[in-house]
């Protein structure tokens, strides 16, 4: 009964998390009155309690002209039944992807492109009017500074059509993959998007591999700002193996260093006694 999986999220589990991302879906105009009734019946009082107590808490009304906000799994379910279309997020547009690739390759060839700004600032940035009721709700649900509980992906509205373009959200690779696999007709210029995503993935994979150089140094803290969930998941085993391996190899050297620091009162390491300690360090390495 115990879980046989190793420590750390598996890619499948990351994909599961990604399916909780919120998206916009306008019900398609081909929804027949019968289908429409089936969906909106969840809205009325009799059935709502059934939908309400669970997953994302609220099942939106699906009336054809209005778009509703819902998690990815529900959007894909509706899409497969041809009851709704999906509005792809703004960052999935070719222009936005090209801008991100430009940033990744030319502006900052070392680090990942920055993650989307926290939602409160994003709201001010885009400055767009919010014509729909659901949108108003989503701003209200956006975290404010000092507000608990603190939200994090996949619960931030970073994949809705209102999310700012030019920033990759945490679950970008899985989300793009899911949309292209199951809702390709909703993604504009999908051939171009696929090619750009591939470029982007390769650029970032190279950076991810390059980041292992900083792991080797044994500096203690490695910051990967802007990395994606799937990129972490696929190199998790390797990265954690390297960090743990370096730690085990350097365990005795680290213990000696800590002893020195404790004896020398913190900064003592860089004092007069440094030479002899360094000798002993070197001996240990051989």
Partner 1 sequence: MDIDDILREVDPSSSGLPSSTRDLQSLTRVWVAERSTPELQSWPTDGLVERVNGRIASQIERVEALTGDMDPRSNFALIVIQTELERYKFLVRSYLRARLAKVDRHALHYLSTPELRARLSPTELAYATRHQALLHNHYLASFLGSFGPSLQNLNDTSGNITMIDTPDLESAVFIRLLRDARVIGKGVDADGDVEGKTGDIIILRWSDAKPLVDTETAELV
Site for partner 1 in 15-44 (CB under 8 A): 16-17, 19-20, 34-35, 37-39, 41-42
Among 126, 165, 253, 268, binds partner 1 (CB under 8 A): 253
* 159 neighbors 21 (Cβ within 8 angstroms): yes
Measured from the CB atom, is 40 or 126 closer to partner 1? 40
Burial class (CB in 10 A: 0-12, 13-18, 19+), 141: middle
* 168 neighbors 100 (Cβ within 8 angstroms): yes
Residue 262 interacts with partner 1 (CB under 8 A): yes or no: no
* 11 neighbors 72 (Cβ within 8 angstroms): no
Site for partner 1 in 54-83 (CB under 8 A): 54-59, 73-74, 77, 81, 83
Measured from the CB atom, is 83 or 187 closer to partner 1? 83
Residue 150 interacts with partner 1 (CB under 8 A): yes or no: yes
Q: Which helix (H) or strand (E) is 75 found in, with range?
A: helix 72-80
Residue 43: CB minimum distance to partner 1, A: 10
Give the number of residues in contact with partner 1, rule: CB under 8 A: 79
Among 98, 111, 165, 246, binds partner 1 (CB under 8 A): 246
Site for partner 1 in 163-202 (CB under 8 A): none
Place of tokens 């919120």: 22
Whole-number CA gyration radius for the chain? 24
Q: Give residue 155's Cα distance to chain centre.
A: 10
Among 94, 155, 177, 277, binds partner 1 (CB under 8 A): 155
Site for partner 1 in 98-117 (CB under 8 A): 115
What's the rounded Cα separation, in Å, for the pair 256 and 248? 14
């Amino acid at each position: 009964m115990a879980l046989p999986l190793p420590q750390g999220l598996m890619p499948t589990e990351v994909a599961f998390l990604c399916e909780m991302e919120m998206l916009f879906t306008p019900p398609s105009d081909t929804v027949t009155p019968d289908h429409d009734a089936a969906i909106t019946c969840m809205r009325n009082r009799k059935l709502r309690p059934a939908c309400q107590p669970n997953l994302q808490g609220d099942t939106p009304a699906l009336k054809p002209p209005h778009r509703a906000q819902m998690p990815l799994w529900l959007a894909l379910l509706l899409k497969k039944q041809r009851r709704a279309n999906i509005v792809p997020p703004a960052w999935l547009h070719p222009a936005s992807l090209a801008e991100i690739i430009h940033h990744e390759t030319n502006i900052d060839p070392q680090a990942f492109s920055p993650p989307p700004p926290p939602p409160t600032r994003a709201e001010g940035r885009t400055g767009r009017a919010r014509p729909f009721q659901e949108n108003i709700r989503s701003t209200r649900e956006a975290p404010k500074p000092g507000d608990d509980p603190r939200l994090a992906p996949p619960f931030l509205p970073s994949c809705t059509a209102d999310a700012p373009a030019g920033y990759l959200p945490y679950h970008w690779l899985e989300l793009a993959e899911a949309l292209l696999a199951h809702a390709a007709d909703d993604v504009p210029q999908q051939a171009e998007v696929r090619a750009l995503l591939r470029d982007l993935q390769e650029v970032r994979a190279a950076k991810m591999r390059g980041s292992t150089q900083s792991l080797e140094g044994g500096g203690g803290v490695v910051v990967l700002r802007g990395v994606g969930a799937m990129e972490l998941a696929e190199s998790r085993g390797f990265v954690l193996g390297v960090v743990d391996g370096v730690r085990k190899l350097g365990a005795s050297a680290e213990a000696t260093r800590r002893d020195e620091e404790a004896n020398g009162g913190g900064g003592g390491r860089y004092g007069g006694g440094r030479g002899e300690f360094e000798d002993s360090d070197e001996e240990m390495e051989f």
